[in-house]
Structure 1
Amino acid sequence: MDDLPLPPAPAFPGLLEAALYCPDLDAAEAFYGGILGLERITRVADRHVFYRVGHTVLLLFNPARTREGGSNPEIPVPPHGAEGPGHLCLAADAQSLAAWVERLEAAGVPLEADFHWPGGARSIYFRDPAMNSLEIAEPRLWFDAG
């Protein structure tokens, strides 16, 4: 494939959706909707629950169900799933990040790490009920603050 001439790659304007796998969707919904306060878009029984995060959609799937593949032939999504904890990083400015530390502590969610990267951006790490590693970081971690 490396030897084939390819047309230019069009730019992506952003990330449309990201997925994590959570076997207990009730616990995931209590965490993501309750503690993190995300806006729920939809839930399908024990298969998935979707949340809006800015201009991105967070898809939380029960891996046992998504490995089966879809049952609707008009929406032929291939089977998918993952083993072990995933990772997701949410963006927050410095003031909001401090408020998140306070909220997570009040909810009894332990922080695994709270530090500043060499460039100065702060990150905090914690786990969801499925043990996915979640991070909240200042956007300047990856993007110029100016």
Structure 2
Amino acid sequence: MSEPLSSRSSLSVHHLAVVVRDLQRAEAFYGGVLGLPVVRRWTDEAGAPRSVWLGLGGGAFLAVERVAADGPTRADEAPGWHCVALGIAPSEREGWRRRLAAAGVRIERESPYSMYARDPEGNLVALSHYPDEQGSTG
């Protein structure tokens, strides 16, 4: 029998994981373009790179996992996780726009609070500053 949850129990993000075919390209995007620091690297039984963990702040991390199989991708309109949104300050938005452009990463769409782009595998990544609109002082 499991212990009952405390009325004060809360969940937090421990880690997010994304599977990719090309670990090196994914690390170049998340670690290089987005600047997430490498926390740990993992290898498979043969000693080949299998996974890289990148820090997200607050103890959370992004696990980028290599897969060998090619498979279907989820359409944006289909049920399932939609994107990962990383927090930025409103004052950093234009700097991020320039950084993404310099890396050849196209901003796919925008809202008053977020810019959406794709990682090398086609996964949607947002840079978001909700609830502060661009140009606000809050």
TM range (shorter): 0.7 to 0.9
Query: Which residue of structure 2 lines up, in the alignment, with residue 96 of structure 1?
Result: 92
What displacement does 1:13 show?
Answer: 5.2
* Pairwise CA RMSD: 2.6
**Letter matched to residue 54 of structure 1:** G
Aligned to 1:15: 13
Determine the structure 2 residue equivalent to 1:62.
Answer: 66
Identity %: 31
Higher mean displacement: 39-48 or 51-60: 39-48
Q: Quick check: 2:114–2:130 contact (8 Å CA) kept in 1?
A: no
Q: Please, which of 73, 76, 84 is the counterpart of residue 84 of structure 1? A: 73
The equivalent position to 1:33 in structure 2, one of 31, 34, 37, is 31
* Structure 1 pair 30–12 and aligned structure 2 pair: CA distance change class (3 A): same
What secondary structure is seen at the aligned counterpart in 1 of 2:31? helix
SS at match of 1:43: strand
Structure 1: state its 5+ residue gaps: 1-5, 66-81, 117-121
State the partner residue of 1:136. Answer: 127
Question: Given the two structures, how large is their TM-score scaled by the length of structure 1?
Answer: 0.69
The 2-side partners of 1:7 and 1:115 are apart by 38
Gap runs ≥5 in structure 2: 43-47, 75-80, 133-137
CA offsets 1:2-54 (integer angstroms, 9 cap, x no match)? xxxx6556523521111111110010111111111110012223321110011
SS of the aligned residue for 1:134 comes to strand
Moved more, 53-62 or 40-49: 40-49
Alignment of 1:109-128 (within 5 A): 109-116=105-112, 122-128=113-119
Looking at structure 1, the residues matched to 8 and 65 of structure 2 have their Cα atoms a distance apart, in angstroms, of 29
> Cα offset for 1:61?
0.8
Query: Secondary structure, in 3 states, of the residue corresponding to 1:33?
Result: helix
TM-score (norm 2): 0.73
Give the Cα separation in 1 of the matches to 2:94 and 2:29. Answer: 19
**d(CA) in 2 for partners of 1:96 and 1:52?**
19
